Amino acid sequence: MQRIILIGYMGAGKTTIGKALAHDLGLEFFDLDWYIEDRFRKKIPQIFAERGENGFREIERNMLYEVGEFENVVISSGGGTPCFFDNIDYMNKQADTVYLNAPVDVLYAHLMMGKSQRPLIEGKTPEELKAYIKDSLAGREQFYRKARYMVDVEVIKYKSQIQALVDNIKEIIATKNQKEDLLT
């Protein structure tokens, strides 16, 4: 049984890398935000608008605990998921957690490339967006760094970069599993 959860700030590449990793490993892929939207038949911005961030975070935790029981999966968490309640502890208990560590400039570049609506950054100027990323990343980093593994991410422009990240994640998890096998 294998379960991998990717964590990191919005725009770090969790969904892109998660899909490729799941494909490479022959596992099912779940994006937690997509899972929430499917279950509630509403887009994340609509849930935010109706219930506020606290209401959304409650839903997110409940859905995390649901997908966290699935087997043979790669899960891409929301950017804030590890930072609320006991979510990061639960994730570490349930899965191999991998923090996709991207600097502010990389996150900014990825978010500017992205086309999806993100309620927490909507309507911000480029300067406000960079400042927001820097400030909120500083607050979230303590949670992200609790992941079992960390992989550095640069601006992703090519499929070969995605594959290199996938190979890196597979290697660090395989190395961990080999070490555990030696101990048993």
Q: Where are the domains of the chain?
A: 3-156
Q: Which CATH class is domain 3-156?
A: alpha beta
Chain-centroid distance, C-alpha 85:
16
pLDDT beyond 70 at 184: no
DSSP 8-state secondary structure symbol assigned to residue 73: E
From the CB of residue 13, how many other CB atoms can be counted at a distance below 10 Å?
A: 25
Spatial distance between the Cα atoms of 59 and 74, rounded to a whole number of angstroms: 20
The pLDDT tens digits for 134-183 are: 999 999 999 999 999 999 999 998 999 999 999 999 999 998 777 776 67
The answer to whether the CB of 115 falls within 8 A of the CB of 17 is no
Gap between the terminal Cα atoms of the chain:
17
Per-residue confidence at 123, pLDDT binned at 50, 70, 90? confident
What pLDDT score was predicted for residue 6? 98
What pLDDT score was predicted for residue 142? 97
Alpha helix positions (H), the chain: 14-25, 32-40, 44-67, 87-94, 104-113, 126-144, 159-183
pTM (predicted TM-score): 0.93
Spatial distance between the Cα atoms of 104 and 83, rounded to a whole number of angstroms: 18
177 is written with which tokens? Answer: 């599993």
